[in-house]
Structure 1
Amino acid sequence: MNSAHELVKALKRELKVAGITYKDLASRIGLAESSVKRMFSAGDFSLSRIDDVLRVLKMDFAELSRRIANAQSLRRELSLEQERAVVADPKLMLLAICCISHWTFEQMVASYLISEAECIAYLLQLDQLGFIELRPQNRYCLKVSNGFRWRPHGPVMAYFRKYVCDDYYSGGFDGEGEMMMVVHGEISNAQATHFVERLQRLGQDFAQQHLTDQKVSDEHKRPYTLVIGMRSWLFAPFRELKRPDVPIRKH
């Protein structure tokens, strides 16, 4: 185990997978909900408190350690064959995206025209593909990292380019909480890498906010899709205006 931080992250993850809220945990270990929140926020756990939480989770410290080790080796992308299997069935790809967004089994069935039996069958497929680990009571744990991405030139991104991009960019991006910005400039390779890292953190922040706002009632939230991209590129009509003796610089 690398640090107390990894321990707290693992406990939070296991509580999430088990569907146990801080309020539920507090009642089971004899603490106020506010005390449990402070405990997780500060990462201040005594050994006896860790044992209390593990007892509620019905697991031991050895199992938690194994899951921490597994989480540290989560995959950042699928193989080409795995992506082909995902994209071959739109419902399977839909549920893969729901899993990345940490939807519960109940949310998937309630939101889409998929029966409980179908949903279980698809989750089993994702388990067999190594995308998730399916657990009792239709809970699951992701086997891909927070920095997971679809292969840049793989089947899923090809599907998105063919069926999704035009639909997404046809909007005006002028509604509440919407925007689109295109910025062009020339920067150093080192700074380009730095910006990519910042954009990755922004994507992770968005995903984390989705988790935090799951407790917000449906009438006070709406679905958003964040698309982040950065590449060395010049708009085609602009490329045609370049002087022939001035190369298009590649960063």
Structure 2
Amino acid sequence: MSTTADLVDALKAELKSARITYAALAPKLGLAESSVKRMFAKGDMPLSRIDQVLGVLKMDFAELARRIADAQPQRSELTLEQERAMVADRKLLLFAISCLSQWTFEQILATYRITEAEGVRLMARLDRLGVIELRPLNRYRIKVAKTFRWRPDGPVMRYFREQVVPDYFNGGFDGEGDLLLLVHGQVGRAHAALFNERLTRLAQDFAQQHLADQKLPAELKRPFTLVIGMRSWLFAAFRDLQRAPVP
């Protein structure tokens, strides 16, 4: 729930965006400019006064609340308890991944054998877990940042390593649009960091294309999964053959 200070700060931002000065606002509120300045400086005003300012801005309270919610800091990762809840219910994990991919509620139900009642229950759980903010008509707002990632050694990534990775790499990668490359080499530390940045941008490009193609008809789309990894590593079967580094 937003505090009065949050509401006042949001009003300040909206007034600035609309280029409405305190001097211009004062007569519309029936106040002196000095009173308006003092009111905003204290960051405290009754709801009736907030309604008056919203009237000047031609906004309603619900819209202001949405602006405040959208401006709240987003999570970069979930807690261990939240991730454990995800892997304990595969349908919940499915809904979480679908929401993070910004599928609509209707798209999820049309793609998977999940009833509407189940879907509503799962969305409500994701809301309680802080992954989404559930809105009317089963719409939602993502509450995690664009930089969000699962905990590197957390429950979800362990689940993926144990259950998903073997299934993923068991494929032949010989279908239309499929590709599998394995490249090994030695590069400088600075260059390794640059490669990580470029790979991150590639992942972001893939995610953006996914969003752009949501409007395409179903027959023109296929589900793809992009896996990107880079680590300092040598295949276990080769490790005992490696010479000790020269001191």
TM-score of the aligned structures, taking structure 1 as reference length: 0.71
The CA distance in 1 between the partners of 2:109 and 2:75, in whole Å, is 27
Shift of 1:68: 4.0
Shift of 1:65: 3.9
Q: How many residues align?
A: 193
Shift of 1:190: 2.2
Give 1:17's aligned residue.
none
Shift of 1:218: 0.9
The CA distance in 1 between the partners of 2:135 and 2:193, in whole Å, is 38
TM-score of the aligned structures, taking structure 2 as reference length: 0.72
The CA distance in 2 between the partners of 1:193 and 1:76, in whole Å, is 20
The CA distance in 2 between the partners of 1:228 and 1:86, in whole Å, is 22
Query: Is the 8 Å Cα contact of residues 147 and 204 (structure 1) preserved in structure 2?
Result: no
Give 1:170's aligned residue.
170
Give 2:96's aligned residue.
96
Give 2:229's aligned residue.
229
Shift of 1:96: 0.5
Matched to 1:240, the amino acid is D
The CA distance in 2 between the partners of 1:154 and 1:106, in whole Å, is 30
Give 2:68's aligned residue.
66
Give 1:188's aligned residue.
188
Query: Is the 8 Å Cα contact of residues 123 and 134 (structure 1) preserved in structure 2?
Result: yes
**Identical residues among aligned pairs (%):** 57
Give 1:140's aligned residue.
140
The CA distance in 2 between the partners of 1:171 and 1:240, in whole Å, is 29
Query: Is the 8 Å Cα contact of residues 75 and 143 (structure 1) preserved in structure 2?
Result: yes
The CA distance in 2 between the partners of 1:129 and 1:65, in whole Å, is 21
- Within the alignment, does 1:241 sit opposite 2:244 as a pair? no
- 3-state DSSP of counterpart to 1:75: coil
Unaligned runs of 5+ in 2: 1-9, 11-16, 18-56
The CA distance in 1 between the partners of 2:239 and 2:172, in whole Å, is 26
The CA distance in 2 between the partners of 1:64 and 1:94, in whole Å, is 27
Shift of 1:238: 2.1
Shift of 1:147: 1.9
The CA distance in 2 between the partners of 1:230 and 1:75, in whole Å, is 24
The CA distance in 2 between the partners of 1:82 and 1:213, in whole Å, is 30
The CA distance in 2 between the partners of 1:224 and 1:136, in whole Å, is 30
CA RMSD of aligned residues (A): 2.3
